[in-house]
A and B are shown apart, each in its own frame.
Chain A
Amino acid sequence: MNTKRRTFLKGTLAGSAVAVAVGAGLLNPRQALAATWPKSAFDSKDVAGALQGLFNTDLTIPSADIDIRAPDIAENGAVVPVTISTKMKGVSSVSLIVEKNPNPLAAVFNLASNTLPDVSTRVKMGKTSNVIAIVKVGDKTYSARKEVKVTIGGCGG
């Protein structure tokens, strides 16, 4: 009985979150729980859900000032080097999303004020997909994307 009630609550929350989020932006649970791992964002199966979980909105401003360095063609999807950098000032976080992965959100880097917005890491990519970089400056989120072609997938091996 009780467990059913839980699932019901979860279902309604998930459904209403999308509808509410368009007009939201007032409340930000991420700020209140800054030190915890954003589970809902990482568990999300689509890009919009990941953005909702992180920023409470899936609207981002496309920006030409974000530089994504990744190979055009990755021979091995298990190890794709990606560097995200930008010249923007006051960047508080840099997020990395692989659009067509089962869980698109790969990483969120929260930066201190003296940390430069220039991070590199290596990600797994299941198939050819866009790599999306999200840069948060103040309360605005900027995005850029770059397609990486994958010849051997990194998932399922």
Chain B
Amino acid sequence: MSDTIKIRATVNGDICTVKSLIKHPMETGQRKDKKTGKIIPAHFIQEVNCEHNGKNVLNADWGVAISKNPYLSFEFTGAKPGDKVTLSWSDNKGEKDSITTQIS
């Protein structure tokens, strides 16, 4: 299980809606630490991938403008209950995480 990703995939007819929340600071590299006056280095998610039964359905490239603790939702067709959906992310420091869930 993943500590950083919450995901829900529901199917309605043929269309699967994936909603996810990722826990991440999404630091822009433009903010200053109020105590030290130093710029806080950028730390943000660059890539988010989503696979349905091992086939890529979404590949997102993100910049620093995505909000802290990002929310992402999208839809794809050709899904049925019980199918596997995997969501993974990686950031500019090389950290990454992924989660697999079943469509309900």
Which B residues are in CB contact (< 8 Å) with A114?
Answer: 57, 76-78
A-binding segment of B5-13, B58-66, B80-88, B95-103:
B58-66
0/1 string, A114-132, CB within 8 A of B gives 1: 1110111111110000000
Q: Which of A107, A112, A115 contacts B63 (CB 8 A)?
A: A107
The answer to whether B74 and A116 touch across the interface, beta carbons within 8 angstroms, is yes
The answer to whether A155 and B58 touch across the interface, beta carbons within 8 angstroms, is no
Which A residues are in CB contact (< 8 Å) with B56?
Answer: 112
Say whether, besides A106-B66, A123-B65, A124-B67, A118 and B58 are in contact (CB < 8 Å).
no
| Range, interface on chain B | 20 to 34
State A122–B68 Cα separation when bound (angstroms): 9
Say whether chain B's binding surface is mostly helix, strand, loop, or mixed.
strand
Which A residues are in CB contact (< 8 Å) with B68?
Answer: 78-79
The answer to whether B72 and A124 touch across the interface, beta carbons within 8 angstroms, is no
The answer to whether B74 and A120 touch across the interface, beta carbons within 8 angstroms, is yes
The answer to whether A116 and B65 touch across the interface, beta carbons within 8 angstroms, is no
Say whether, besides A107-B62, A119-B72, A155 and B30 are in contact (CB < 8 Å).
yes
Which B residues are in CB contact (< 8 Å) with A80?
Answer: 67
- Total number of residue pairs linking A and B with CB closer than 8 Å: 104
A102 within 8 A of B: yes
B89 CB to closest chain A CB, in angstroms? Answer: 12
Q: Which of B28, B58, B71 contacts A112 (CB 8 A)?
A: B58
State A111–B31 Cα separation when bound (angstroms): 32
Say whether, besides A37-B47, A106-B66, A156-B30, A120 and B61 are in contact (CB < 8 Å).
no
B104 within 8 A of A: no
Least CB separation from B47: chain A residue = A37
The answer to whether B67 and A37 touch across the interface, beta carbons within 8 angstroms, is no
Q: Write the residues of chain A forming the contact surface with B, with a CB cutoff of 8 angstroms.
A: 35, 37-38, 42, 78-81, 98, 101-112, 114-116, 118-125, 154-157
Given contacts A106-B62, A110-B60, 17 further A-B contacts (CB under 8 A): A37-B46, A103-B65, A105-B63, A107-B63, A114-B57, A114-B77, A115-B76, A116-B74, A119-B72, A120-B74, A121-B73, A123-B66, A124-B66, A154-B67, A155-B30, A156-B30, A156-B32
